[in-house]
């Protein structure tokens, strides 16, 4: 009897020990912050004249990701970030900005995968993986969502492109709403903070996908006052948006600090593509002014929608107080790496037939000097533009690698994306090789 009592007591202690020694740090809160169209040369830590003190501080106390690649436009990067797969694995529309449903229902994405590990999940901001409410974030594993289903919006009217059937796009939990007042960046920040404050008992995934600093831009005098040293009026307006964005991140980090969960919270920050540089205007509800040279990827070549470095290599960092020691990681990595990296951190096994293109880059975050990976990164944009890295010929995926399936809808997608006319034939491949060969190699120290 006594022996049995000891056994029961022992089991109880073992269970309690397991519960108490399963540290919360093994399942950190994960906050993924995505800026829209933020250029390489538009953040303080890259030497910009635009001050970003909050982002700079998070970089200096965290991991600077010096070779963090994305896709050169919005939807493809979000597909990669959410699924861990190259957008061309799915279909053509995933390789351009898309209002159509980007990935099939049931596709495992970061949110649904982390839910399996007990995470509460939210996305506040821009979705752009399907602009109908029935394709919204709640149908892919997010417990809560708020913001725009479609892409960029007017900062105060929260409406998508003029002449689009998706012009009314602001929503909460996939229900369209039309009574919100305020700047999109402030509304998204408010929702992020409210959500953080409500989380008490479970680890959480919070994706904060800002509309800023995508045009059209409208900023209050208080932000413009901080960038009066920027001479060009167009760039000054953009700089004010960047400063505003930086302040929004400060407020979100402040909420994490107030909740006393900073040491249990991993923050990942990236832009979704490089700077647009020029904006034609009049595409969104007014005011949508034409902007010239308003954003910059210098010294990287190229811009948004191009497969030059400036379109695809973006400001990025990771920060986890007390866990990640400050470092600069030069290992080339891609948005597809975050799903394998984050799910492994929290103990979620890859689903069957996951076909993840990314890999776990956590070892580089804890040891920036480890031997580099040998790997090839791919970009397919609008079914015609290919870029290659390392060891495969331009324009050809090796057997078994992702490829575009079909060409239907290409014209419509190109118009939406405002991509240049596609290049075809031998000349196109020659031009592409020339372009690729002019780019700095991945890992180039600038
Ligand atoms: Ca973008």
Residues 440, 303, 81, 144, CA torsion sign: positive
Q: Is the pLDDT of residue 438 over 70?
A: no
How many Å apart are CA 54 and CA 326, to the nearest integer? 15
Residue 350 CB burial class (10 angstroms; 0-12, 13-18, ≥19): middle
Please write the tens of the pLDDT for every residue from 139-155. Answer: 999 999 999 999 999 99
| Full-model pTM | 0.85
CATH 3.40.720.10 for domain 23-366, yes or no, is: yes
Task: Identify the band that residue 21 occupies on the pLDDT scale cut at 50, 70 and 90.
Answer: very low
46 annotated active-site? no
C-alpha 209 to ligand 1 mean position (Å): 10
52-64: pLDDT as tens digits:
999 999 999 999 9
> Which range among 35-44, 92-101, 111-120, 164-173 shows the weakest confidence by mean pLDDT?
92-101
Q: Each residue of 176-197: pLDDT tens digit? A: 999 999 999 999 999 999 999 9
CA-to-CA distance for 117 and 243, rounded, in angstroms? 36
Cα(356)–Cα(75) distance, rounded to whole angstroms?
A: 18
Could you tell me where in the chain the CATH 3.40.720.10 domains are found?
A: 23-366
State the Rg of the chain over Cα.
Answer: 22
Gap between the Cα atoms of 133 and 202, Å rounded:
27
Helix (H, G, I), strand (E, B) or coil at 55: helix
Q: What is the pLDDT confidence band of residue 37, given thresholds at 50, 70 and 90?
A: very high
Q: Is 132 helix (H, G, I), strand (E, B) or coil?
A: coil
pLDDT of residue 226: 98
Long-range contacts of 101-105 (CB under 8 A, 24+ apart): 101/129, 101/130, 101/132, 101/135, 102/75, 102/78, 102/129, 102/130, 103/79, 103/129, 103/140, 105/139, 105/140
Least Cα distance to 271 among 209, 337, 228 occurs for: 209
In angstroms, what is the span from residue 263 Cα to ligand 1's centroid?
A: 30
Average pLDDT of span 231-255: 98
Digit-coded pLDDT (tens) for 275-288: 999 999 999 989 99
d(CA 376, CA 261): 37
The residue from 74, 94, 207, 248 that is catalytic is: 74
Characterise 383 by phi-psi region: left (phi > 0), alpha (psi -120 to 50), beta (else): left
Angle at 28 between CA 25 and CA 33, to 5 degrees: 150
Q: Ligand 1: distance of its center to the CA of 290 in Å?
A: 17
């Amino acid at each position: 009897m006594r022996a049995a009592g000891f056994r029961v007591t022992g089991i109880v202690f073992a269970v309690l020990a397991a519960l108490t020694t399963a540290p919360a740090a093994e399942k950190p809160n994960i906050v993924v912050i995505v800026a829209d169209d933020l250029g390489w040369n538009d953040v303080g830590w890259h030497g910009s004249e635009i001050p970003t003190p909050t982002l700079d501080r998070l970089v200096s106390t965290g991991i600077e990701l010096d070779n963090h690649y994305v896709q050169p436009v919005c939807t493809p990067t979000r597909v990669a970030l959410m699924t861990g797969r190259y957008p061309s694995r799915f279909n053509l529309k995933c390789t351009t900005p898309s209002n159509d449903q980007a990935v099939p229902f049931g596709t495992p994405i970061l949110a649904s995968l982390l839910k399996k590990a007990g995470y509460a999940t939210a996305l506040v901001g821009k979705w752009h993986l399907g602009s109908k409410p029935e394709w919204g974030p709640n149908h892919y594993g997010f417990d809560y969502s708020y913001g725009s289903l479609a892409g960029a919006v007017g900062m105060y009217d929260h409406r998508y492109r003029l002449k689009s059937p998706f012009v009314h796009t602001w929503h909460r939990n996939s229900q369209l709403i039309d009574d919100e007042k305020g700047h999109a960046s402030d509304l998204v920040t408010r929702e992020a903070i409210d959500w953080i404050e409500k989380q008490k008992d479970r680890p959480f995934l919070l994706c904060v996908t800002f509309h800023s600093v995508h045009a059209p831009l409208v900023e209050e005098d208080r932000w413009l006052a901080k960038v009066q040293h920027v001479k060009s009026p167009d760039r000054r307006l953009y700089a004010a948006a960047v400063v505003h964005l930086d302040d929004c991140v400060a407020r979100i980090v402040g909420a994490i600090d107030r909740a006393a969960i900073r040491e249990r919270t991993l923050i990942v920050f990236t832009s979704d593509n490089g700077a647009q540089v020029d904006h034609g205007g009049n595409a969104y509800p007014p005011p949508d002014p034409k902007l010239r040279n308003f954003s910059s990827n210098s010294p990287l070549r190229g811009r948004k929608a191009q497969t030059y470095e400036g379109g695809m290599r973006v400001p990025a960092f990771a920060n986890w107080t007390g866990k990640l020691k400050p470092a600069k990681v030069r290992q080339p990595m891609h948005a597809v790496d975050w799903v394998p990296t984050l799910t492994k951190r929290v103990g979620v096994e890859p689903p069957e037939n996951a076909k993840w293109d990314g890999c776990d880059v956590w070892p580089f975050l804890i040891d920036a000097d480890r031997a580099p990976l040998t790997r090839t990164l791919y970009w397919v944009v609008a079914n015609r533009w290919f870029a290659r890295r390392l060891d495969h010929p331009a324009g050809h995926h090796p057997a078994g690698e992702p490829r575009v399936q079909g060409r239907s809808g290409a014209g419509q997608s190109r118009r939406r994306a405002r991509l240049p006319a596609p290049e075809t034939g031998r000349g196109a491949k020659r031009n592409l090789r020339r372009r690729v060969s002019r780019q700095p190699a991945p890992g180039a120290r600038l």
